[in-house]
Structure 1
Amino acid sequence: MTEETVVTGSLPAAVERFVLHWGDLGGQWGVNRSVAQIHALLYLSERPLTADEIAGTLGIARSNVSTSLRELLGWNLIRRVPVMGERRDHFAAETDLWEMVTRIAAGRKEREIDPAIAALRVCVAEADGDPAVGAVAQRRLRAMLEFTETMEGWYGQMLNVPRGTLSKLIRLGGRIVKFLPSKGEP
């Protein structure tokens, strides 16, 4: 059975739709479809599930489930949960959305942004010492590094903002600019 044929009939229609949709979205975000589907199933599950239960419910090979669970554990999006009288591992997803998004953002920063900043720093340093690199390329490299470092700094600051305050800021959206000085004001 392929990953696309996840219909087992054992899930309520809304849950199955969410699992399938989350799997598709995962692919768009660069995450393996099986990983995303397992995450979706665990997120909606009312109890921790074993790898065999996951494989049976989703129609995914047990080996694929094991690999996907390791990836989700690496992202810290799921955890092993002890179950009394059971020797098999059971898994549960993080269900606090703020925590889940924070962990995903931290993982993506570590895997994508940090290496990008390191590479940009090397490129800027090499360009500064190379007369063959034109002024336009040097300026653009510095601008990209500065922008990326600024966004990284903003990310770090937002981690320290209390959730309630951050939630209010997000809900304000573009209206936040009315609290900033107008053009020409100090």
Structure 2
Amino acid sequence: MNLTPLIQSFVLHFGEMGSRWGINRTVGQMYALLFVSEKPLNADEMAEALGFSRSNVSMGLKELESWRLVKLQHFPGDRREYYSTPEDVWAIFKTLADERKKREVEPTLSMLREALMETPANEAERHAQARMGQMHDLIDLTTSWFSDIQKLDVETLKKLMTLGAQVQKFLEFKQKLSFPRSSEKE
């Protein structure tokens, strides 16, 4: 399987970005290949297209499965396993967000909760604990907000995201309406 220059460029870039996102280059390239592939691929096809060993591909597929980013398929008369990515990019985004939350955010919140329950021994620990409390509150608020966002259907989510800074203008306008003007106070 030969990759076209366009596909090869995407696959290589995804591999480089993968290392910045916390996955290794091989896994990033494998995911990119599956993402742009017209049909599900088996491990041998991926190894050939990417020039990786079969064992590297197998390990990468296990990692992608643990992230819930690939779908396993079987075809009648073929004993091999075929892999593909979900068609809906929004579903991929939501899965990635869920997995990152599970792997990164929840352990941090747990650690912060435990640290906040400790009795500070001195002023330095009181200061550190107060800062940890601020971090906990921000992460907790962001996590709650993101959970609410995750429940929205795709069309509503797209509309919300296209609003951008207009949301801030709306909130400022609403705030002006809810507070009496200084001339009304007198």
TM-score (norm 2): 0.89
CA shift at 1:139, angstroms?
Answer: 1.7
Q: State yes or no: 1:147 paired with 2:110.
A: no
What one-letter code is carried by the residue in structure 1 that aligns with 2:144?
G
Name the stretch that deviates more: 90-99 or 101-110: 90-99
Name the stretch that deviates more: 112-121 or 71-80: 71-80
Q: State yes or no: 1:180 paired with 2:180.
A: no
Q: Deviations over 1:21-80 (max 9, x none)?
A: 111111111111110101111111111111011001100011000000011111111111
The 2-side partners of 1:46 and 1:159 are apart by 28
The partner residue of 2:3 within 11, 17, 30 is 11
CA shift at 1:132, angstroms?
Answer: 1.7
Q: State yes or no: 1:166 paired with 2:157.
A: yes
CA shift at 1:185, angstroms?
Answer: 5.1
CA shift at 1:138, angstroms?
Answer: 2.5
Q: State yes or no: 1:48 paired with 2:40.
A: yes
Aligned pair in 2 of structure 1 residues 176, 184: CA closer, same or farther (>3 Å)?
closer
Greater RCO (Cα-Cα under 8 Å, separation 6 or more)? 1
The 2-side partners of 1:16 and 1:116 are apart by 37
Among all aligned residue pairs of Structure 1 and Structure 2, give the percentage whose two residues are the same amino acid: 36
What one-letter code is carried by the residue in structure 2 that aligns with 1:89?
E
The 2-side partners of 1:172 and 1:184 are apart by 20
CA shift at 1:184, angstroms?
Answer: 5.7
The 2-side partners of 1:141 and 1:88 are apart by 50
Partner of 1:82: 74
Partner of 2:107: 115
Give 3-state SS (helix, strand or coil) of 1:87's partner: strand
Q: State yes or no: 1:131 paired with 2:131.
A: no
* CA RMSD across the alignment: 1.5
The structure having more radius of gyration, on CA atoms, is 2
The 1-side partners of 2:129 and 2:59 are apart by 43
The 2-side partners of 1:74 and 1:90 are apart by 16
Unaligned runs of 5+ in 2: 179-186
Larger relative helix fraction: 2
Paired residues of 2:120 and 2:129 also in contact (CA < 8 A): no
CA shift at 1:181, angstroms?
Answer: 3.7
Give 3-state SS (helix, strand or coil) of 2:165's partner: helix
Give 3-state SS (helix, strand or coil) of 1:65's partner: helix
What one-letter code is carried by the residue in structure 2 that aligns with 1:113?
V
Unaligned runs of 5+ in 1: 1-7
What one-letter code is carried by the residue in structure 2 that aligns with 1:98?
W
What one-letter code is carried by the residue in structure 1 that aligns with 2:34?
L
What one-letter code is carried by the residue in structure 2 that aligns with 1:132?
N
What one-letter code is carried by the residue in structure 1 that aligns with 2:98?
A
The partner residue of 1:106 within 89, 92, 98 is 98
Q: State yes or no: 1:71 paired with 2:63.
A: yes
CA shift at 1:11, angstroms?
Answer: 0.9
Alignment: residue pair count: 176
CA shift at 1:131, angstroms?
Answer: 3.3
Give 3-state SS (helix, strand or coil) of 1:53's partner: helix
